[in-house]
């Protein structure tokens, strides 16, 4: 049954949906992880493999998740319950909605803490705190921040308030106005930083790091990395794309909008690489430091460069913008459910969701100081001793990234590909080409589930 609109409102245009979904997909990990793993795993060869994986995993699952959201026009929890009932399926399929919302909620709790680091660094960079510091000084400043629960709490609180203020205002007045401002700002900041990188004399070194194909670096693990990046980079399986899809006009093409989101997400990741790595190489620093690249290596590079104070501040402002557009999408599914099922108005629902996520975030804050000792148990498999556990932050990150999100994406593929009637799927997608629909349907039913299953097995170290 096709529904025309959600009780929460509707995006004013297809472009706004693309901005919102791209904002959801582009986050802190995008800014450093994709360029880094591309450069370390064959450069242009990895990029080509990644694009193939996007076509086989990312795009099909995104189209399926948007189709579910638009057909249900409710929160992911209620959408899956309603569609299961309409398709004559067991109500246990409603678990898919709960899984996505729960994963997004847990991610929001620790994502806000990490985003608080970026918010702190905007003011540090702008105040010249990194000027004149050597490597030990910058590292010491970072370690001082993350080991101070009171400072982390302040930045975590401020960032969560920023999210609540946007989500409380609704689809048109809150989410839409935010992404219409934040996404062009993010792109503008990226282009400014790319221009700055070009002026530092090491731009072609960064281009070579990212794009020069080195097929000798490509292994089975490289392909699995590309599959995982293709899945995780698009915010699939956490309810965000489904709820955003519920606000999409029935006249908009799901394929065209999904393709635009995938293209924009990939372009942002590549631009981030072109902005970051020439700066790193110009400073004679190592590009492969993960999160440390952002909070330790780059501040050192900016501190030594002409204009580094201004462009360092702009860079961390870029990180905050990317984090903000992602986190509001993580909050929205739970807020929509409270409005639908508990009769709350949006401001109150946003305060409740933000408050609970803020409280759960305290565990992440303390994971870097008072609760930094890992908790868990030892397990012997095949004669090899394994430690299962970690800090609260590490366990929350592992649970969501390695188990909940792949499981959610797999169940979405199985529900749309195998349990919904083909007629319902065709009706919602509205593809004009029968041959294209059959190709997409085949990929969704077979290639995407196999790919996600391989990603899952790799993530839990079973292959």
What's the pLDDT tens digit per position in 199-249?
888 899 999 988 989 899 888 888 988 988 888 889 999 999 999 999 999
For residue 345, the model assigns a pLDDT of: 96
For residue 109, pLDDT over 90 is answered with yes
Tokens coding 178: 């935010």
How many whole angstroms separate alpha carbon 261 and alpha carbon 255? Answer: 10
Q: Average the pLDDT over 296-307 and give the result.
A: 85
**How many Cβ atoms sit within 10 Å of the Cβ of residue 219?**
11
Tokens coding 304: 């030594």
Tokens coding 126: 């702008």
**Predicted confidence band at 379 (pLDDT cuts at 50, 70, 90)?**
low
Does residue 9 form part of some domain? no
Tokens coding 366: 């303390």
- Residue of 8 and 463 predicted with greater confidence: 8
Does residue 388 form part of some domain? yes
Q: How many domains does the chain have?
A: 1
Does residue 328 form part of some domain? yes
CB-based contact 289:296 (threshold 8 Å): yes
**Predicted confidence band at 344 (pLDDT cuts at 50, 70, 90)?**
very high
Q: Average the pLDDT over 365-384 and give the result.
A: 78
**Predicted confidence band at 20 (pLDDT cuts at 50, 70, 90)?**
very high
For residue 291, the model assigns a pLDDT of: 65
Helix (H) / strand (E) containing 244: helix 240-245
Largest CA distance in the chain: 67
How many whole angstroms separate alpha carbon 48 and alpha carbon 266? Answer: 12
Radius of gyration of the chain (CA): 22
Tell me which residue has tokens 């591309």. 38
Determine phi and psi for 115, rounding to 5 degrees: -60, -30
Does residue 241 form part of some domain? yes
Angle between helices 220-232 and 28-40 (to 10 degrees): 160
E strands along 179-240, which residues? none
For residue 26, the model assigns a pLDDT of: 92
Does residue 5 form part of some domain? no
Q: Average the pLDDT over 94-98 and give the result.
A: 96
For residue 382, pLDDT over 60 is answered with no
**How many Cβ atoms sit within 10 Å of the Cβ of residue 134?**
11
Tell me, what CATH number does 446's domain have? 1.20.1740
**Predicted confidence band at 290 (pLDDT cuts at 50, 70, 90)?**
low
Does residue 290 form part of some domain? yes
Does residue 23 form part of some domain? yes
Residue 9 per-residue DSSP state: B
For residue 386, the model assigns a pLDDT of: 62
Helical residues (DSSP H) of 368-429, grouped into ranges: 392-398, 405-414, 422-429
pLDDT digits (tens, 9 = 90+) for 419-428: 999 999 999 9
Q: Average the pLDDT over 379-405 and give the result.
A: 80
How many whole angstroms separate alpha carbon 349 and alpha carbon 168? Answer: 8
Q: Is 6 helix (H, G, I), strand (E, B) or coil?
A: strand
For residue 281, the model assigns a pLDDT of: 87
Q: Is 31 helix (H, G, I), strand (E, B) or coil?
A: helix
How many whole angstroms separate alpha carbon 30 and alpha carbon 322? Answer: 9
Nearest to 456 by CA among 413, 418, 392: 413
Nearest to 113 by CA among 439, 375, 427, 364: 364
How many whole angstroms separate alpha carbon 235 and alpha carbon 257? Answer: 15
Angle between helices 405-414 and 59-72 (to 10 degrees): 70
Phi-psi region of 40 (alpha: psi -120 to 50; beta: other; left: phi over 0): alpha
Give the length of the chain: 463
Does residue 6 form part of some domain? no
Note the pTM of the prediction, 2 decimals: 0.94
User: Cα 123 to the chain's mean position, in Å?
Assistant: 24
Tell me which residue range forms the domain holding 138: 14-459
For residue 33, the model assigns a pLDDT of: 82
For residue 432, the model assigns a pLDDT of: 87
Average pLDDT, the chain: 92
How many whole angstroms separate alpha carbon 408 and alpha carbon 53? Answer: 18
Tokens coding 421: 């009637």
For residue 285, pLDDT over 80 is answered with no
- Residue of 370 and 74 predicted with greater confidence: 74
Tokens coding 82: 């309603």
């Amino acid at each position: 049954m096709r529904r025309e609109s959600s009780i929460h409102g509707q995006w004013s245009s297809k472009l706004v949906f693309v901005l919102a979904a791209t904002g959801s997909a582009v986050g802190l990990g995008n800014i450093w992880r994709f360029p880094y793993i591309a450069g370390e795993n064959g450069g242009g060869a990895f990029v080509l493999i990644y694009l193939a994986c996007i076509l086989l995993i990312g795009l099909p699952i995104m189209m399926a998740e948007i189709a579910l959201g638009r057909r249900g026009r409710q929160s992911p929890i209620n959408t899956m319950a309603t569609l299961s009932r309409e398709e004559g399926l067991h109500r246990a399929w409603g678990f898919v909605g709960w899984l996505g919302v729960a994963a997004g909620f847990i991610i929001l709790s620790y994502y806000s803490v990490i985003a608080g680091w970026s918010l702190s660094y905007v003011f540090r960079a702008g105040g010249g705190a990194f000027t004149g510091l050597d490597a030990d000084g910058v590292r010491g400043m970072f370690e001082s921040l993350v080991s101070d629960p009171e400072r982390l709490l302040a930045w975590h609180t401020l960032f969560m308030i920023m999210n609540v203020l946007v989500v409380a205002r609704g689809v048109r007045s809150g989410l839409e106005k935010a992404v219409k401002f934040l996404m062009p700002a993010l792109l503008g900041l990226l282009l400014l930083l790319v221009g700055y990188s070009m002026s530092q004399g090491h731009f072609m070194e960064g281009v070579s790091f990212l794009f020069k194909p080195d097929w000798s670096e490509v292994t089975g693990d490289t392909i699995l990395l590309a599959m995982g990046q293709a899945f995780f980079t698009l915010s699939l399986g956490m309810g965000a794309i489904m709820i955003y899809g519920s606000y999409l006009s029935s006249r908009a093409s799901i394929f065209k909008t999904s393709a635009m989101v995938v293209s924009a997400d990939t372009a942002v990741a590549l631009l981030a690489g072109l902005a970051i790595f020439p700066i790193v190489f110009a400073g004679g620093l190592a590009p492969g430091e993960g999160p440390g690249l952002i909070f330790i290596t780059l501040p050192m590079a900016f501190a030594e460069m002409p204009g580094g104070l201004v462009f360092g501040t702009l860079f961390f402002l870029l990180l905050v913008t990317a984090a903000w557009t992602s986190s509001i999408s993580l909050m929205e599914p739970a807020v929509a459910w409270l409005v639908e099922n508990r009769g709350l108005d949006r401001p109150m629902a946003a305060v409740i969701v933000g408050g609970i996520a803020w409280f759960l975030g305290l565990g992440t804050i303390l994971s870097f100081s008072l609760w930094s000792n890992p908790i868990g148990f030892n397990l012997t498999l095949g004669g090899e001793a394994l430690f299962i556990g970690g800090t609260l932050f590490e366990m929350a990150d592992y649970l969501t990234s390695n188990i909940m999100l792949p499981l959610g994406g797999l169940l979405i593929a199985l529900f749309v590909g195998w349990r919904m009637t083909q007629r319902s799927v065709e009706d919602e997608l509205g593809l004009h080409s029968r041959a294209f629909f059959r190709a997409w349907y085949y990929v969704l039913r077979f290639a995407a589930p196999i790919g996600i299953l391989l990603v899952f097995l790799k993530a839990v170290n079973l292959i």
